[in-house]
Amino acid sequence: MAARVAKARLCPKPLIRRALSAFRYNGRPFCRRRTAARVSMSTEREALLRQSIGGYIEPYIGLSLEELGAVRSVRVTEKGVDVSLELPIPASHYGAELAAALKARLSGVAGDSDIRVDVAWNVAAREVRSGLKPIQGIRNIIAVASGKGGVGKSTTAANLALALAREGAAVGLLDADIYGPSQPTMMGLKNERPASPDQRTMIPPVAYGVKVMSIGFLIDEEQPMVWRGPMVTQALVQLLETTRWGDLDYLIVDMPPGTGDTQLTLSQRVPVSGAVIVSTPQDIALLDARKGLRMFQKVEVPVLGIVENMSTHVCSKCGHEEHVFGAGGGRRMAEQYGVPLLAELPLDIRIREQTDSGKPTVVAEPDSQLGRAYLELARRAAGALARAIIAGPAAFPTIRIEDT
Ligand SMILES: Nc1ncnc2c1ncn2[C@@H]1O[C@H](COP(=O)(O)OP(=O)(O)OP(=O)(O)O)[C@@H](O)[C@H]1O
Ligand SMILES: [Mg+2]
């Protein structure tokens, strides 16, 4: 409307107007009214575009771009529309997908103008509980835990770390399973050892862009560990604190199995920002996973979501998919506790072969259906953490757990 009024006041004769517009007075177009009209038109379009962009619900975080404060600028120029965003989750690949979704959304408002969407990102740090001091340079620690052993916790932790790195984040992976460290093998670092030039701190070996630290680098694998609880905690805290992680957006911690004292002390001693619970669909595993949830609740760590691993079995010969361990358990549990279901991963021989041979699925076949499932899991976990950071400690939904 404002644009139409301004247009009516333009220089009356188009020919004169065109001639005058070529002149410059003090570097500005001679015909000021015309400029004023243009400015008012583009401001109005910018406002409309900004409104439309701001109303877009970012699917992984579950908040609108406006609520996220993600819209840095919207500019209408003669060349088209320039949108600049800043997300709180890593988006090296996701950025292009988000840009495409926004372009489709804006096409009605922007007409046939060219739309360019620039997506930058910056991961914030979650404030840790009082009494715990954050580790310098590490913005967020994500614990990957399960109640039961052998459910695929280490496999999930490795692929989660790699998927976050694939999205451009600076990632570390700490193997906290003192009794059965598996990350050196899974990350293809079996023969590596951390360097320690100053004899006090350790430089972590790097696999596929992820910094990895594990007790497995320091001990003889054949030697059974006979440490008691307090020694384990002590060793882990030391491993965490003496590693030169540098600047990390996320440190993924592959927790030891179980929900006993060691895990509890660890969660109390390590400034964890959020936890991912892995479970297989059997009732017994889900029961143990519930205990894992309860443990994190005790230490006020938000549960970012549940991963149902070995959800279905995919036959390597015919591709037939079957719910060998029952269906929908992870989903039901996620609904019951009001936390996201981050992924339902099939029992697939490729996951086992790739992970156990030192090249996890995310690097072995990043664009396959399985690779995409891990990428999606990483985006959802990062999104849930970003949401927890925005909501602040008190506002994050408390997880209530009934006695099992
Ligand atoms: N979705 C899957 N499909 C096929 N094999 C899998 C899958 N997830 C994990 N595995 C395989 O199952 C075995 C156990 O997985 P993993 O070591 O990750 O479990 P875990 O929970 O860390 O066990 P632990 O309690 O011993 O630490 C590994 O050989 C792994 O490759
Ligand atoms: Mg493990």
pLDDT tens digit sequence for 217-254: 987 766 666 666 677 778 888 899 999 999 999 999 99
pLDDT, residue 395, reads: 44
- Read off the tokens for 41: 């038109």
> 248: burial class by Cβ within 10 Å (0-12, 13-18, 19+)?
buried
Q: Give which of 148, 202, 200 is closest to 172, Cα–Cα.
A: 202
Mutate which of 352, 353, 361, 369 for ligand 1? The one with the most ligand atoms within 8 Å of its CB, which is 352
Beta-bridged to residue 250, according to DSSP, are 140, 171
**DSSP string of 198-227?**
TSSSBBPPEETTEEEEEGGGTS-TTSPP--
* Ligand 1 atom 1: residue of nearest CA: 347
- Lowest average pLDDT, out of 139-153, 315-329, 358-372, goes to 315-329
Are 214 and 175 contacting, i.e. CB atoms less than 8 angstroms apart? yes
- Read off the tokens for 274: 């959020």
Q: Give which of 57, 53, 55 is closest to 45, Cα–Cα.
A: 53
Residues 89-106, mean pLDDT to the nearest whole number: 95
Ligand whose nearest atom lies closest to the CA of 351: 1
Measure 202 CA to ligand 1 centroid, in angstroms.
28
Give the 3-state secondary structure of 239-300.
HHHHECCCCEEEEEEECCCCCCHHHHHHHHHCCCCEEEEEECCCHHHHHHHHHHHHHHHHCC
- Round the average pLDDT of the chain to a whole number and report it: 84
pLDDT, residue 37, reads: 53
pLDDT, residue 404, reads: 38
The answer on pLDDT for 8 being more than 50 is: no
Measure 356 CA to ligand 1 centroid, in angstroms.
9
pLDDT, residue 28, reads: 55
Q: Give which of 208, 265, 194 is closest to 236, Cα–Cα.
A: 265
Mutate which of 144, 148, 154, 279 for ligand 1? The one with the most ligand atoms within 8 Å of its CB, which is 154
* Ligand 1 atom 19: residue of nearest CA: 152
Helix (H, G, I), strand (E, B) or coil at 192: coil
- Read off the tokens for 43: 């401001």
Ligand whose nearest atom lies closest to the CA of 158: 1
- Read off the tokens for 375: 């990428």
Q: Where are the domains of the chain?
A: 42-122, 138-395
The answer on pLDDT for 29 being more than 60 is: no
**Pocket around ligand 1 at a 6 A CB cut-off:** 146, 149-155, 177, 180, 182, 257, 309-310, 345, 347-348, 351-352, 355-356
* Ligand 1 atom 9: residue of nearest CA: 152
Measure 60 CA to ligand 2 centroid, in angstroms.
27
pLDDT, residue 337, reads: 86
Measure 230 CA to ligand 1 centroid, in angstroms.
27
pLDDT, residue 18, reads: 56
Measure 177 CA to ligand 2 centroid, in angstroms.
6
Ligand whose nearest atom lies closest to the CA of 146: 1
The answer on pLDDT for 103 being more than 60 is: yes
- The pTM for the full model equals 0.86
pLDDT tens digit sequence for 41-56: 668 888 889 999 999 9
**% of the chain beyond a pLDDT of 70:** 82
pLDDT band at 398, cuts 50/70/90?
very low
pLDDT band at 266, cuts 50/70/90?
confident
Ligand whose nearest atom lies closest to the CA of 314: 1
What protein residues have CB closer than 5 angstroms to ion ligand 2? 153-154, 177, 182
The dihedrals phi and psi of 191, each to the nearest 5 degrees, come to -100, 10
Residues 336-342, mean pLDDT to the nearest whole number: 90
Mutate which of 159, 350, 355, 369 for ligand 1? The one with the most ligand atoms within 8 Å of its CB, which is 355
Measure 153 CA to ligand 1 centroid, in angstroms.
6
pLDDT tens digit sequence for 283-309: 777 888 888 888 887 788 899 999 999
Q: Which residues of 257-287 are buried (b: 16+ CB within 10 A; e: fewer)?
A: bbbeebbbbbbbebbbbbbbbbbbbbeebbe
pLDDT band at 36, cuts 50/70/90?
low
Are 217 and 192 contacting, i.e. CB atoms less than 8 angstroms apart? yes
Could you identify the atom of ligand 1 that is nearest to the CA of residue 353?
Answer: 31
* Ligand 1 atom 3: residue of nearest CA: 347
pLDDT, residue 359, reads: 98
Measure 71 CA to ligand 1 centroid, in angstroms.
41
The answer on pLDDT for 142 being more than 50 is: yes
Q: Give which of 267, 279, 262, 331 is closest to 156, Cα–Cα.
A: 279
β-strand pairing of 71-77 with 80-87: antiparallel
| Mean pLDDT comparison of 30-34, 38-42, 324-328, highest-scoring range | 324-328
Which CATH class, in words, describes the domain spanning 138-395? alpha beta
Residues 328-353, mean pLDDT to the nearest whole number: 91
Ligand whose nearest atom lies closest to the CA of 145: 1
- CATH topology for the 42-122 domain: GMP Synthetase; Chain A, domain 3 (3.30.300)
CB neighbourhood size of 196 (10 A): 12
